[in-house]
Amino acid sequence: MKIEEIKTYIRSAKIDNLEIFFDYNTRNLSTFRINGKCSIFIIANTEEALSSLINILNENNAKYYIIGSGSNTLISDYCNDVIIKLGRKFDYIEFYDNGFITAGASCMLGKFITKCYKNKYDFSFLAGIPGTIGGAISGNCGDKLETICDYVESIECLRLPKNRVVKEKIKLKPVNFGYRFLKIDNLAAITKVFFKKDKLEKELIFINIKERIKIKKEVQPLNTFNCGCFFKNPLNSKKTAGELIDSLGLKGFTYGGAVVSAKHANFIENSKMAVSEDIFNLAKLIAGLVNKNFNIKLEHEVKLVGF
């Protein structure tokens, strides 16, 4: 179905609790902060609205993408995939006496870490990482030692096993997640996450958070427009993706408005003049050089939408 027909269809479906935007500037949807355009951007403010929306998009074979805070997403300059964001109703965090913590998918990681700290739960390994709970679970974010899914008991989500959306609560097992991935068949959207973690002294958590942010500031460009590590670390190499790229002398290399960070070679930055195509082409060039020189195929960690 053509994008104009999808627009008409969405308009005429008259689903409550959706905020619908056509020809939306995508600058604030991704931390690359690029002035692209997305044909249809929708904020879903309730689970029912999200579910109905996914059903009609699915019925019409329209491609859609659930976005969190876009800190791991490159959106094409002219994106015809429907971009959906979960609204404020999904932004909450609750603590229970039995050690369970629940958080809505659109809750920001920074707020999550701070509230957990106040309640004596240590999620300091996530400090300094931007993103939402939904995005973090979807890519199992974290560091070398700990990842967020290690502390997830279950998730509430919408799945599309056949042609209709179903709401489910799924207990996470070790097979469901690994290095920067979550694997749930036919997952349409994560809506709520149940965490379980032991408590720790607040003073210790505070020290951990401070230390973590200090290290991150030293090694990563936290003040530029980027989406974190562009490539996953290859499993068949002792070197990280950043080390491989650095050893080719690519730090500071530019393509249009895209630049390989001078601080961390696995970060691609928007020098404020980039279009998405520049970032995409620079990533392609880097992956090609790494493959040619080391016979290693780099895989994107950053998700591409609308390409």
Ligand X SMILES: Cc1cc2nc3c(=O)[nH]c(=O)nc-3n(C[C@H](O)[C@H](O)[C@H](O)COP(=O)(O)OP(=O)(O)OC[C@H]3O[C@@H](n4cnc5c(N)ncnc54)[C@H](O)[C@@H]3O)c2cc1C
Q: Where are the beta strands (DSSP E) in 64-186?
A: 64-67, 73-75, 78-79, 82-86, 93-95, 100-104, 152-159, 166-171, 177-178, 181-182
- Residue 259 binds ligand X (CB under 6 A): no
Q: Which three-class secondary structure string do you get for 216-230?
A: HHHHCCCCCEEEEEC
Which stretch, 48-56, 60-68, 112-120, 280-288, contacts ligand X (CB under 6 A)? 60-68
- Residue 303 binds ligand X (CB under 6 A): yes
Per-residue x/- track, 142-181, ligand X (CB under 6 A): xx--------------------------------------
Distances in Å between the Cα of 232 and the Cα atoms of 1, 72, 193, 299, 302 are: 34, 12, 25, 6, 9
CA distance linking residue 152 with residue 180, whole number of Å: 15
**232 DSSP 8-state letter:** P
CB nearer to ligand X: give 145 or 295: 145
Among 36, 70, 87, 306, binds ligand X (CB under 6 A): 70
- Of 32, 12, 37, the closest CA to residue 22 belongs to 37
CB nearer to ligand X: give 36 or 139: 139
- Residue 130 binds ligand X (CB under 6 A): yes
Among 138, 240, 266, 270, binds ligand X (CB under 6 A): 138
- Residue 111 binds ligand X (CB under 6 A): no
- Residue 20 binds ligand X (CB under 6 A): no
CB nearer to ligand X: give 56 or 222: 222
Name beta bridge partners: 78: 37
- Residue 222 binds ligand X (CB under 6 A): yes
Q: How far is the CB of 302 from ligand X (least distance, A)?
A: 8
* Residue corresponding to tokens 């003049």: 273
- Residue 270 binds ligand X (CB under 6 A): no
CA distance linking residue 41 with residue 27, whole number of Å: 12
CA distance linking residue 210 with residue 200, whole number of Å: 16
CB nearer to ligand X: give 26 or 138: 138
Among 26, 31, 102, 261, binds ligand X (CB under 6 A): 31
Which stretch, 113-121, 201-209, 222-230, 284-292, contacts ligand X (CB under 6 A)? 222-230
Q: Amino acid identity, residue 112?
A: F
Among 6, 54, 75, 141, binds ligand X (CB under 6 A): 141
Residues 94, 137, 213, CA angle at the centre, nearest 5°? 80
- Residue 189 binds ligand X (CB under 6 A): yes
Contacting residues toward ligand X, per CB under 6 A: 31, 65-73, 86, 105, 129-132, 134-136, 138-139, 141-143, 189-190, 220, 222, 226-228, 303
